[in-house]
Amino acid sequence: MMISKKMEEALNQQIAFEGYASFLYLSMATWCDHKGLQGCAKFLQRQSEEERMHMMKIFEYLSDVDGFAKTPGISEPPHEFKTVQEVFQSVYEHEKKVTQSINKLVALANKEDDYATQTFLQWYVNEQREEEAQMRTVLDRITLIGDGPQSLYFIDKEMEALNKAAEAAESAGEEA
């Protein structure tokens, strides 16, 4: 099965988008770590790894459909942020852009009657729904905590709780 050149190019653009997200979240993790927010840093490191996995899935898919995945040049992400709230608002905004990009890929696959790519992209559609929902929850919790003197401590503790929940879910998934 061969993929169209147009779809191959669009998927390669998505590879670059996922790669940038991975670097962006890693940069944010480093900023959080530097600020003593280890829970936030670990959460963002996990997000960075997840984005890299998303990128690699597309590499593998393109190979499976006789396409050619290109290793992208990735722009340097920002390294400075004003607040932890700004960091997580930026993550949410970036995830919404990724969702729009995935939706455009689905529309192109539909237009081209590319059923294999439509099926492949459904995983991303579901993943983006989950990621946007998770980031809205994080932002809601940050808003509830507020920005008082101990807010960073409580935000970091909240992120550590999410890390532990994710690790428990991963362990349960491995045992199944």
Give the mean pLDDT of the chain. 93
Lowest mean pLDDT of 25-34, 122-131, 145-154, name the range.
145-154
Nearest-CA neighbor of 83 among 139, 126, 127? 139
Token digits for 20?
Answer: 């940038």
Place of tokens 């932890």: 84
Token digits for 157?
Answer: 């503790």
Q: State yes or no: pLDDT of 37 exceeds 70.
A: yes
What pLDDT score was predicted for residue 4? 96
- The pTM is what? 0.90
How far is Cα 40 from Cα 74, in angstroms, rounded to an integer? 24
Region 120-137: mean pLDDT is: 94
pLDDT band at residue 174 under the 50/70/90 scheme: low
Measuring CA to CA, how many Å separate 122 from each of 12, 97, 103?
Answer: 17, 17, 10
Token digits for 174?
Answer: 């491995």
| Domain 5-175, CATH | 1.20.1260.10
What pLDDT score was predicted for residue 175? 56
Q: State yes or no: pLDDT of 19 exceeds 90.
A: yes
What does the domain layout of the chain look like in residue ranges?
5-175
